[in-house]
Chains A and B, each alone.
Chain A
Amino acid sequence: MNYSPSSCGLFGILKKDGSNKINGSKVAKSLDIIKYRGSNKGSGYASFNLNQNNYYSVKTFYRGSEDELKRIFKDKNMEVSDCLVEDAGNIKSYCFNVSLDNINNIDEINDNLWLDNKGRVYSVGKSLNVFKGVGYPLDVAEQYSIYGKYADMWLAHTRQPTNSPGNYPYWSHPFSSFNIAIVHNGDISSFGSNREYLKSLGIKSFVGTDSEVIAYLFRELLKKFDITETVKILSNSIDDPKIKYRYRGSVLDGPYTLVIGYEADDDLYMMCLTDSTKLRPVILGEDDNNYYIASEENQIRLINENAKVWSMEPGSYFIVSMKKGIISSGRQNRDEGTTYTPEKYDIDALEIDYNKLDQNILNTGKDHVTVKNVFGHRYIGMEFPDKRKTLDLYGYCGNCLMNLNINNHVNVYGNVADDCCDGMIGGKVVIHGNAGDVLAQAFQNGRIYVNGNVGNRAGLQMRSYSNFKPYLIINGGFDDYLGEYMSGGVILSFSNTEQIDGKYIGSGMIGGKIIIRGNVNKNKIGIQTDRIINKNILRSLYNESLIDEEFYSEMKDKSIVDILENMPEEGRKYTDKLFNKHEIPFYEYRYLNKDEQNELEEIVRDFDTEMGTDNIKYLHNKFTIITAEK
């Protein structure tokens, strides 16, 4: 029972009530276009078809005969009659129906089957059907005739394991347990604690992946809580201390994007959970017919190029039901973006491999190149960082756009994914849509403009040196850790969209300037101690007469920023010990001074020209200005 980490791509789709069932070929194709995230070592699909059956459909991988397997089930009071046998590579998959009353012995059967890796029950549900195997997404789709199948909801997953303990599909996703199917991307650091908890509940055998553990946790929690509470416990968003304590073994930690399908109360639910810092990629979507969850935007665009898409907030959850619609949207005030098409173009990128667009651009021999149907292409600009080209890119740019750019000018009409402009030392990148996570990491010189919002950690460790200075101008808002470790340059956000400001702004900042229009909540600056700790601190300072009662009562509900600002010298000797350095940057709310206005005026005018905005008028407004030190 070893745990071995893996990497993956995922997809989920749920039809709206009244829409047509979804064809498996769409799902397989939407998984296939991100197959570079997985491998030929494992792919799988889960379909849900709501029905009124009074039996469970049970699927088992088994390295023995049908009769043997039937006997094993019969010994546990489960009578098996019709049995569908499928080929799952080098093992058989047996599928049969079991009446609802007798289903509870499945765990015991699994414990016995797993003793010598002889087999595993891998799908149990009224409306659920899991199809998984060893191969690329399309291989497994072929193997199980996914193309001919229709369903109300699908989950899909492609996997690259670091270790393949035998060529069996046991370790492929989805993982399932009683009407639940789960696909997942990440590495759960709490895996060992979660497994201990499940063992204490009597679950004995594990194939050894974190998705399996999550499926069991979900099943066990649903015995006591409703769906929303279950999701909250798993993602550590529950407030009740007693529940926090008793279910401490069922909270997930580490990077994860989790997609869960679930049937209950004559309805289907599709859910997505992200870890507290959203370390794995995920995009949500909706159109007239369906809801979507995907690793990359292009997976959704492949089915409907005009679907509304939005990113998730860190540490949030998305819950949608077929009959009730969106229960929790994964982001407050979502910005769904716009799509653009060029009048003329040099390259249609639709059929070009995800990593081959640069060669096509170079082959045109032109200095100004227009590309349409950019469809998640990665590494654009990597082959010509110093060739002074102008690019107009229409569509959705994948990861690592214009990394190490020196002097190219790029206009993006659409959204860009993660890791855009890493290590850029010159040139200009103008993004008319939204940017994903970690935009402009170690950005050293040049300009980056974003018309929409930016994800986590925009401007991470931006810096300036000699006569180099970078500018990141954002028309909209930002997620967590804006300008983390920043040591030079300027980040300017006009907050013109509805996006809520992210947390931990300027954490670890050692230089440069973050300028945000409007008065940002002080609690969102840097890494702060929580209220309970603050009270303890004040209480102990008061006990030693280092602060007076008035100060205590005035400050006891304030943020640590306020407390430290007003702390008398004698108390400071102790409170200084709370921090190392750079946890909390310096905060002001004020008008820009003359120098700042002069510095920014030309840049903001240029931004307005590129974007068609009118931000220049805001330069006389008040801004929140965050710097490393006073």
Chain B
Amino acid sequence: MTNIMDTFINIPKQKEAEFWNIDKIGHIRYLSNYGKPFKIFSEDDTLRILDRIKFKNHGNNLNDSPMADTSVDFMGLKMSVPIYLGDMSFGALSGNPNIAIANAADITKTLAGTGEGGLLPEIKNLKRIFVQWASARFGVDYYTINSGSGVVIKIGQGAKPGIGGHLPGTKVTDKISQARRIPENVEAISPAPHHDIYSIEDLSQRIEALKILTKKPVFVKVAATNYIPFIVTGIARSGASGVIIDGQGAGTGATPEVIRDNLGIPIETAVASSHDILIKEHLRDNFKIIAAGRVANSTDAAKLYALGADMVSMGTGILIAMGCVMVKKCNLGYCPTALTNKLGTSKIFDIDFGVNNIVNFIKGFRLELANILENLNLSSINELIGRKDLLYSDGISNNTSKVLNINSVNASNTHYKQSEFSYSTRYLNELINKGEIPITSMGSNAPPDVSIPSRIIDWLRIDGAQVTRPSIDPYRENIDTGFYLADGKIRLSMPVIFDISSSSDEIKDAISWASQFTGTIVINNKKSEKYGKITVTKHNGTYKWNDIRYSVDHSKDNVSGYIIEDASFNELYISELDEKLKGEGHRYERDIIPVIENFKNSGDIIKYIALGADSIILPSKIFEIGLGNNHSNLNLKALNLLLTIKKEIALIAGAMGISNVQYSLSGNRELLRGINLDNDVENVLGVTEAGSI
């Protein structure tokens, strides 16, 4: 029996901190039901930077028929409101939602991006669409690329900067095969980079080619990463009509969790600094910025317009308008609301329901925006775009407000410890039991924006390769995660060493065995018979392996390096010791190896190494936590843990465009950015603020 989805279903209880919380979803549902304004100038007391940006003087009247003009001209299209319905592909969504979105864009006089899924026959004659040219060329030919009103070259997305895509063969049905121009029932891989775009000059070439081919505007979509202001000017100089910048935490159909939760920077800092640098370089006129990633309501949108966005893109918001309840199972194919489920299953999404809801939602959203304009004494949206003078920040660090380039009150450093640390048992459990990189979907709840930070590294984000260098596929291309230590006498296959000294014998044996298999070593109180060769012994602050010595005493000479055992905030010690050794001229003869007692995920390892660690020590306790009470198949489970950490290190390195982790990452603070982190801490660490020019 076919089950038609044409109504909202109940939202499950949210157990953890969620960006898309019940209030935000409720707001969208109200607009979708009634097409009337609900709430403006919403204030949320969170650590998200955008929530700490406010409008200076504004009224607070909300009426149902505001007069302010929200319309803009965009690339020859008259838009009722500058909203872009963002780039959700046929394949990621189940078809009917794609049709609903494209039709709603037509009715509401907005614009929809098709994503990398080719064109469904039902929408190919609609004009308010941008078609996509992406790394796998899905659905691309002369005719589809000429449909619609413009072309988007998709370099990256906020939920997974530097990561390719994968659609399982079971999802590649006849219809998807036709639309994507790929074989049926065979899985579809999107390469991580465009293999014709390894640099900005290559991007210029592809933009020029697509302009010759289509005579239409070409946009470039990138994830917001460390060099975003420079990447945006590069795109502007390359002849593109605009950029879609997708911030950290944005939604997606499928992404490795460790990437989503560690890479990329917030959209608000990216837009603010990109807008400024474009003006400085005289490139801002006739170049459009579309801001994407966590645009939850008209207030978020209004702030982004004022920071410099010409348009905002909404993806998750539109899905919620169509009934999404954020169970985050898109990648598994059994969406309870039929938005992202596999084709041919019994649930079918009702197109009219989708169209009506989106039309209502955009209507309500538009009316809210008009109300915001009126309360700011503005008569049209054009008067809001780039008006940083209307904004101020409240309670953020000096470095952050410098990047935003808006007035600041109560400038202050937020203390880096805001909550008690807790392990992610679910993540560890998944690593240990499945031995695969955990894949998830939709937006992130990572710190500092949503979950409350408990460690310094929670405030740091990792770079993703976008345009200036290609990202690398960690599975099918060559990435070296190996590390040389102790003057080249130790070679590890990855910069991770387990300290097993506090565990039971069976756990010790399992981790030792898996370490040998993987090509790394362990630390124990004494050498075991079986694994003596790969065991470093520790005693009274000295770590020994053959004639090699490491010490916890950082003033000692005649050692191969130093262990940092102090558990909390050792990020600061690493940086200080790194600087000290460099000053003394010994840095490249000695190793710095800290213990990560509070291990959250493999992103931690990357951050520690970028801060100056030469490898890290993990306590075997994390294996025990992940195991829970089930102690069967210990060798296999230990192997799962080690190999998956190794794969995740390669995955992140590849996403950063790094082919050799030791050479590229060691002490490379350029590859990190602070997100409103305490400025004094940023100084000690040598880390730059996100969005800095």
Q: What residues make up the interface of A, taking CB atoms closer than 8 Å to B?
A: 2-9, 36-37, 39, 160, 162-164, 185-187, 189-193, 195-197, 199-200, 236, 240-249, 251-255, 275-277, 279-280, 355, 358, 378-379, 382-383, 385-386, 399-400, 403-404, 406, 418-419, 422-423, 425, 438, 441-442, 444, 457, 460-461, 463-466, 468, 481, 484-485, 487-488, 504, 507-508, 510-511, 526-527, 532-533, 536-537, 539-541, 543-544, 573-574, 577-583
| Interface 9-mer from B300-308, B369-377, B566-574, B653-661 | B653-661
Q: Take A186-B469, A382-B212 as given contacts and tell me if A5 and B227 are in contact as well, using a CB distance cutoff of 8 Å.
A: yes
Give the contacting residue for B199; candidates A7, A358, A460, A574; CB below 8 A.
A7
Q: Take A160-B201, A254-B658, A540-B516 as given contacts and tell me if A192 and B670 are in contact as well, using a CB distance cutoff of 8 Å.
A: yes
B191:A461 contact, CB within 8 angstroms: yes
Give the contacting residue for A404; candidates B142, B513, B662, B671; CB below 8 A.
B142
A544:B487 contact, CB within 8 angstroms: no
A574:B476 contact, CB within 8 angstroms: no
A236:B469 contact, CB within 8 angstroms: no
Give the contacting residue for B670; candidates A3, A379, A580; CB below 8 A.
A3
Give the contacting residue for A200; candidates B473, B486, B588, B656; CB below 8 A.
B588
B200:A7 contact, CB within 8 angstroms: yes
Q: What residues make up the interface of B, taking CB atoms closer than 8 Å to A?
A: 136-137, 140-142, 145, 177-178, 181-184, 186-189, 191, 195-196, 198-202, 204-206, 208-209, 212-213, 227, 229-231, 233-234, 237, 277, 281, 435-436, 465, 468-470, 473, 475-478, 484-489, 491, 493, 513-514, 516-519, 530, 581-582, 585, 587-589, 610, 635-636, 639-640, 643, 647, 656-660, 662-671, 692-693
**Shortest Cβ distance from B585 into A: residue:** A200
Task: Give 28 A-B contacts (CB < 8 Å), ordered by A residue.
Answer: A187-B468, A189-B469, A189-B658, A190-B660, A192-B668, A192-B670, A192-B671, A193-B667, A200-B581, A236-B663, A240-B488, A242-B488, A245-B485, A248-B588, A279-B199, A279-B470, A280-B199, A400-B205, A400-B206, A404-B142, A404-B145, A438-B196, A460-B195, A485-B189, A485-B191, A488-B183, A543-B516, A582-B475
A34 to chain B, nearest CB (A): 10
B266 to chain A, nearest CB (A): 20
Closest 6 CB pairs of A and B: A241-B488, A192-B670, A7-B201, A508-B476, A192-B668, A442-B137
B230:A163 contact, CB within 8 angstroms: yes
B639:A574 contact, CB within 8 angstroms: yes
A507:B667 contact, CB within 8 angstroms: no
**Shortest Cβ distance from A165 into B: residue:** B693
Give the contacting residue for B213; candidates A404, A536, A577; CB below 8 A.
A404
Residues of chain A with a CB closer than 8 A to B662's CB: 248
Tell me the complex Cα distance, A436–B659, Å: 23
A537:B476 contact, CB within 8 angstroms: no
A580:B183 contact, CB within 8 angstroms: no
Residues of chain B with a CB closer than 8 A to A526's CB: 476
Tell me the complex Cα distance, A442–B582, Å: 49
Residues of chain A with a CB closer than 8 A to B663's CB: 190, 193, 236, 248, 251-253
**Shortest Cβ distance from A481 into B: residue:** B477
A2 to chain B, nearest CB (A): 7
Give the contacting residue for A532; candidates B477, B519, B656, B664; CB below 8 A.
B519
Tell me the complex Cα distance, A130–B691, Å: 34
Most chain A CB atoms below 10 A, which of B140, B142, B493: B142
A193:B664 contact, CB within 8 angstroms: yes
B233:A162 contact, CB within 8 angstroms: yes
Q: Take A465-B182, A574-B639 as given contacts and tell me if A507 and B212 are in contact as well, using a CB distance cutoff of 8 Å.
A: no
A578 to chain B, nearest CB (A): 7
Give the contacting residue for A400; candidates B137, B209, B477, B643; CB below 8 A.
B209
Tell me the complex Cα distance, A280–B198, Å: 7
A189:B484 contact, CB within 8 angstroms: no
**Shortest Cβ distance from A385 into B: residue:** B142
B200:A192 contact, CB within 8 angstroms: no
A7:B234 contact, CB within 8 angstroms: yes
A254:B657 contact, CB within 8 angstroms: yes
Tell me the complex Cα distance, A244–B692, Å: 33
A552 to chain B, nearest CB (A): 13
Q: Take A463-B182, A532-B491, A536-B518 as given contacts and tell me if A8 and B140 are in contact as well, using a CB distance cutoff of 8 Å.
A: no
B50 to chain A, nearest CB (A): 25
Residues of chain A with a CB closer than 8 A to B195's CB: 438, 441, 457, 460
B209:A189 contact, CB within 8 angstroms: no
Residues of chain A with a CB closer than 8 A to B658's CB: 189-190, 253-254
Tell me the complex Cα distance, A248–B487, Å: 11
Tell me the complex Cα distance, A481–B472, Å: 13
B477:A507 contact, CB within 8 angstroms: yes
Give the contacting residue for B669; candidates A6, A192, A442; CB below 8 A.
A192
B183 to chain A, nearest CB (A): 5
B141:A379 contact, CB within 8 angstroms: no
Residues of chain A with a CB closer than 8 A to B205's CB: 378, 399-400, 419
A382:B209 contact, CB within 8 angstroms: yes
Q: Take A200-B587, A463-B182, A504-B478 as given contacts and tell me if A236 and B660 are in contact as well, using a CB distance cutoff of 8 Å.
A: yes
A444:B199 contact, CB within 8 angstroms: no
Tell me the complex Cα distance, A483–B585, Å: 47
Residues of chain B with a CB closer than 8 A to A504's CB: 476-478
Residues of chain A with a CB closer than 8 A to B231's CB: 5, 162
Tell me the complex Cα distance, A191–B468, Å: 13
Give the contacting residue for A5; candidates B230, B237, B489, B692; CB below 8 A.
B230
A573:B636 contact, CB within 8 angstroms: yes
B277:A163 contact, CB within 8 angstroms: yes
A189:B513 contact, CB within 8 angstroms: no
A465:B183 contact, CB within 8 angstroms: yes
B189:A246 contact, CB within 8 angstroms: no
A162:B237 contact, CB within 8 angstroms: yes
Residues of chain A with a CB closer than 8 A to B281's CB: 163-164
Give the contacting residue for B639; candidates A6, A244, A422, A577; CB below 8 A.
A577
**Shortest Cβ distance from A279 into B: residue:** B198
A192:B667 contact, CB within 8 angstroms: yes
Q: Take A196-B582, A422-B196 as given contacts and tell me if A577 and B640 are in contact as well, using a CB distance cutoff of 8 Å.
A: yes
Besides the known contacts A248-B484, A444-B181, 13 further A-B residue pairs in the complex with CB atoms under 8 A apart: A5-B234, A7-B201, A37-B201, A162-B468, A196-B666, A255-B469, A400-B209, A423-B141, A441-B137, A461-B137, A461-B189, A464-B183, A527-B476
A246:B588 contact, CB within 8 angstroms: yes
**Shortest Cβ distance from B184 into A: residue:** A465
A72 to chain B, nearest CB (A): 26
Residues of chain A with a CB closer than 8 A to B213's CB: 382-383, 403-404
B660:A245 contact, CB within 8 angstroms: no
Residues of chain A with a CB closer than 8 A to B610's CB: 192
